[in-house]
Amino acid sequence: MVEGKIPSSFRDPSGFLFYRKGQLFRQINKSFKEEYDFFEESGLKDNLIESGLLIPHKDMGEKNLQTDDGYKIIKPEPIDFISYPFEWCFSQLKDAAFTTLTIQKKALEYDMSLKDASAYNIQFNHGKPVFIDTLSFERYQEGEPWIAYNQFCQHFLAPLALMSYRDLRLSQMLRVFIDGVPLEIASSLLPARTYLNLGVTLHVHFHSRSRKRYLGGGIDSSRAKKKFSKNSFLGLINSLESVIKKLECKIDDSAWVDYYRDDSYSETAFEHKKKILEGCIKKINPKTVWDLGANTGVFSRIAGKKGASTVSFDSDPAVVEKNYVECKREGETEILPLVLDFTNPTSNIGWSCKERMSIIGRGPCDLALALALVHHLSIANNVPFKMVSEFLGEICKSLIIEFIPKEDPKVQILLSSRKDIFTEYNQQSFEKEFKKVFKIQYAEKISDSERTIYLMEKKRM
């Protein structure tokens, strides 16, 4: 963990986040003193924390101010795993949008308003979206429109509409457009039938035209005198809430949604695999677990039930959606389902390539699960065992990995449509390469199958 100011905390002059002795703090600058004091004294801060909408924090006073213009230091409650909007499934982005709007409505009750509506201000903490930017609140100016309206539409509404009307994978546009999907792009990509949706027409299509029309231009004095009443403000928030509520996630043809129901494992093999896994997790007793290629999270739940903060990754947004809905329904607060393709994982992006952290930068986790994954990496994506083991060695301290031999029906499917060029794909080569990075602690063959589960510990280099 790097000490000092964190690289993503530079846009807002009101303050910044920094690490000191491995702990995260936030400095509030003198320039924001009045707004912050109002936020505290008005009761809004306590209301939001009590409602679970804002991350709680401890007031540290003036001790350890980082710069001369500092007013106060606060220590926010740590978040187990920082995730980004392009790693969320449809319902996660939708819940994050509702959280932002609910906070804005509450803020208006206290004569305050959100000065930004970035999706990066939301994190998933113990299964729920929570607002993390304590410095986003300013006093409401009577007659002023919502300064964060465009940002809200770009960060939430546009990607949600694209995912709902076009394709769930379009959430990945948020990875390219770090300040949200530009409305003119969203408008041109959305199908014509979205003009039948009043909310999308208003907040995406017409809004984007207005932006285009006044791009770099001025406004006339009659408009400058016009005021935006509080009722209009509340109407705007209600309208955004209503359009987002109506957007639906359509899951139909994902190959992975019914993965466990097909012939991947016999019942005996499946139960035995779970038993081996339970034993290995108990042995390691990890605090943090990353399940790579988790599908709908069946094995993540084993780690979650043992109390480990578990991130359940999969590249298919449809299965991540299913996983998230299941977590919400069952109240599984230890599991965080996320969309991530390990053949192209999140890299360092944003300003100076430091604003948003790569997956490696957010690790290492205590334990990684790589179950039924290696054949996808090595055969479907031609990644040699050497590179798989080196990458896994960078992201975890311990590893539970499943080796699936060529004779397995799943590998046969992968090889059925291509020439078998994978002469090195065998258990001996697998062990040889992994032993260079890890120490094999335990191995057990899964009953009624040719697959083997390994428990490995990373070697100290």
Partner 1 sequence: MNTSPRKLIIPGFILLCIIENASAYLDPGTGSYIFQLLIASFLGVGFLMRNWLGRIKGKILSIFTKKGK
Q: Which is nearer to partner 1, 82 or 147 (CB)?
A: 147
Q: Which is nearer to partner 1, 108 or 404 (CB)?
A: 108
Q: CA-to-CA distance for 359 and 345, rounded, in angstroms?
A: 7
Cβ–Cβ < 8 Å for 281, 442: no
Q: 33, 212, 246, 287: which one contacts partner 1 (CB under 8 A)?
A: 212
Q: 51, 188, 238, 381: which one contacts partner 1 (CB under 8 A)?
A: 238
Check binding of 207 to partner 1 (CB under 8 A).
yes
Q: Which is nearer to partner 1, 183 or 368 (CB)?
A: 183
Cβ–Cβ < 8 Å for 312, 337: yes
Q: Which stretch binds partner 1 (CB under 8 A): 59-67, 204-212, 329-337, 448-456?
A: 204-212
**Enclosing H/E stretch for 311:** strand 309-314
Q: Which is nearer to partner 1, 242 or 285 (CB)?
A: 242
Check binding of 236 to partner 1 (CB under 8 A).
yes
Check binding of 251 to partner 1 (CB under 8 A).
no
What does DSSP assign to residue 163? H
Check binding of 188 to partner 1 (CB under 8 A).
no
CB of 356 to partner 1, least distance (A): 18
CB of 409 to partner 1, least distance (A): 54
Q: Which is nearer to partner 1, 50 or 144 (CB)?
A: 144
CB of 230 to partner 1, least distance (A): 9
Check binding of 412 to partner 1 (CB under 8 A).
no
- Whether the link from the prior residue into 364 is cis, omega within 30° of 0, is yes
Q: 72, 94, 115, 458: which one contacts partner 1 (CB under 8 A)?
A: 115
Question: Three-state secondary structure along 313-346?
Answer: EECCHHHHHHHHHHHHHHCCCCEEEEECCCCCCC
CB neighbours (10 Å) of residue 131? 22
Check binding of 245 to partner 1 (CB under 8 A).
no
Burial class (CB in 10 A: 0-12, 13-18, 19+), 252: exposed
Check binding of 417 to partner 1 (CB under 8 A).
no
φ, ψ of residue 195 to 5 degrees: the values are -70, -15
Per DSSP, what are the bridge partners of residue 368?
290, 399
CB neighbours (10 Å) of residue 208? 22
Q: Which is nearer to partner 1, 63 or 223 (CB)?
A: 223
- Which sign, positive or negative, has the C-alpha torsion 401, 85, 181, 175? negative
Q: Which is nearer to partner 1, 210 or 382 (CB)?
A: 210
Distance of CA 407 to the CA centre of its chain: 36
Check binding of 224 to partner 1 (CB under 8 A).
yes
Q: In this structure, what token pair is assigned to residue 410? A: 């799943």
CB of 121 to partner 1, least distance (A): 12
- DSSP structure string for 2-59: --EE-TT--S-TTEEEEEETTEEEEEEEGGGHHHHHHHHHTSHHHHHHHTT-B--EEE
φ, ψ of residue 263 to 5 degrees: the values are -95, 30
Q: 51, 67, 188, 210: which one contacts partner 1 (CB under 8 A)?
A: 210
Q: What is the dihedral of CA 76, 81, 86, 90, to 10 degrees?
A: -90
Q: What Rg do the C-alpha atoms of the chain give, in angstroms?
A: 24
Q: CA-to-CA distance for 7 and 350, rounded, in angstroms?
A: 10
Q: 43, 235, 307, 409: which one contacts partner 1 (CB under 8 A)?
A: 235
Q: 195, 214, 260, 351: which one contacts partner 1 (CB under 8 A)?
A: 214
Q: Restricting to residues 64-93, which ones interact with partner 1 according to CB under 8 A?
A: none
Check binding of 228 to partner 1 (CB under 8 A).
yes
Q: 51, 67, 188, 229: which one contacts partner 1 (CB under 8 A)?
A: 229
Long-range Cβ contact pairs of 195-203 (< 8 A, separation 24 or more): 197/243, 197/246, 198/243, 199/239, 199/240, 199/242, 199/243, 199/244, 199/246, 200/157, 200/161, 200/243, 202/239, 202/243, 203/153, 203/157, 203/239, 203/240, 203/243
CB of 194 to partner 1, least distance (A): 18
**Residues 125-154 vs partner 1: string with x where CB under 8 A?**
-------------x--x--xxxxxxxx-x-
CB of 418 to partner 1, least distance (A): 49
Q: 2, 3, 4, 13: which one contacts partner 1 (CB under 8 A)?
A: 13
Q: 82, 234, 380, 443: which one contacts partner 1 (CB under 8 A)?
A: 234
Binding site for partner 1 (CB under 8 A): 11-14, 115-116, 138, 141, 144-151, 153, 202, 206-207, 210-215, 217-221, 223-224, 226-229, 231-236, 238-239
